Amino acid sequence: MPTLTLGTAVALKPGVHAALNLPCSARGELFIAVNPGALKVQAVTLTVVAERSGGDIVWVGALDETMLEPRMVSAWPQARQALNDRVGAGAHPWEIRYPGTLLIPGTQGGMVYRGSRPWLIIGALANGRPLAVPLNSTTATVTNKPYTMFLNKAWYVVTPSATDPRQLHGDTNATAELPHIWSLPADLVNCGHVLPEHTSSLVHSLSIYYPASNGPRKP
């Protein structure tokens, strides 16, 4: 299970920054912003890291704890809530983008999400960078897991990516992996979306895993 507690100040271990395709700033202020429930899960070393600048989160990445080391500076206990409150924000929620792989080939990234998949936008940071989670194909017809968000194949449309032959086809159910949240570049091309009439159940899932400080979100 993760051992770095919520709000702990951390730094990337040597070599990690160069191994990330979507890195934080080289000398950014980094803090643990993981879901508190993840701290109770055995055999899981995935955590969430948020970079803070000027009081705002400017980058987010779901990294393996083996890539981090604690810093002996003041913690930021509000890191998780600050992240939660950016979920649902922005102009492009429920759009689908292809960011490519998260790690440079050959990198030992532990539980960092692998592969090149379509990602679902679920919010945005104050600097405009979308917050997104990966979409996995599934043969299930429903899921009740609190850390995944189920999308029936009739709920969304996706355009195949010209650069990724392993695209998520529009004829399969999918699950959005909520713990694997990352901030993406703002200039990625939109390649799909969830149909508006099917977003209400997704909003409910987000409100459970990423509860906002001002109460449940509205569809």
pLDDT at residue 39, rounded to an integer? 65
In this prediction, residue 189 has a pLDDT band, given cuts at 50, 70 and 90, of confident
**Burial of 40 by CB count in 10 Å (0-12 exposed, 13-18 middle, 19+ buried)?**
exposed
Q: What is the pLDDT of residue 219?
A: 72
Per residue in 119-170, pLDDT tens? Answer: 999 999 999 999 999 998 887 777 667 788 888 888 888 876 555 544 555 5
If phi over 0 gives left and psi between -120 and 50 gives alpha, with beta otherwise, what is residue 161? beta
pLDDT score of 96 more than 50: yes
Stretch 30-51: mean pLDDT: 86
**Strand boundaries in the chain, DSSP class E:** 9-12, 29-32, 46-53, 56-64, 68-70, 96-97, 119-124, 130-138, 148-151, 156-158, 173-177, 182-183, 192-194
Task: List Cα–Cα distances, 152 to 19, 107, 117, 171, in angstroms.
Answer: 34, 33, 17, 9
pLDDT of residue 215: 82
Structure-token pair, residue 131: 């917050």
Distance CA 174, CA 9 (A): 34
- When pLDDT is cut at 50, 70 and 90, the band that residue 109 belongs to is confident
**CB within 8 A of 198, min separation 6: which ones?**
151, 152, 154, 155, 156
- CA dist 48 and 64 (Å) reads 8
What residues are paired with 148 via a beta bridge? 177
Q: For the chain, which residues make up each domain, given as ranges? A: 9-78, 96-209
Rounded to whole angstroms, the Cα distance separating 114 from 153 reads 23
Q: What is the pTM of this model?
A: 0.92
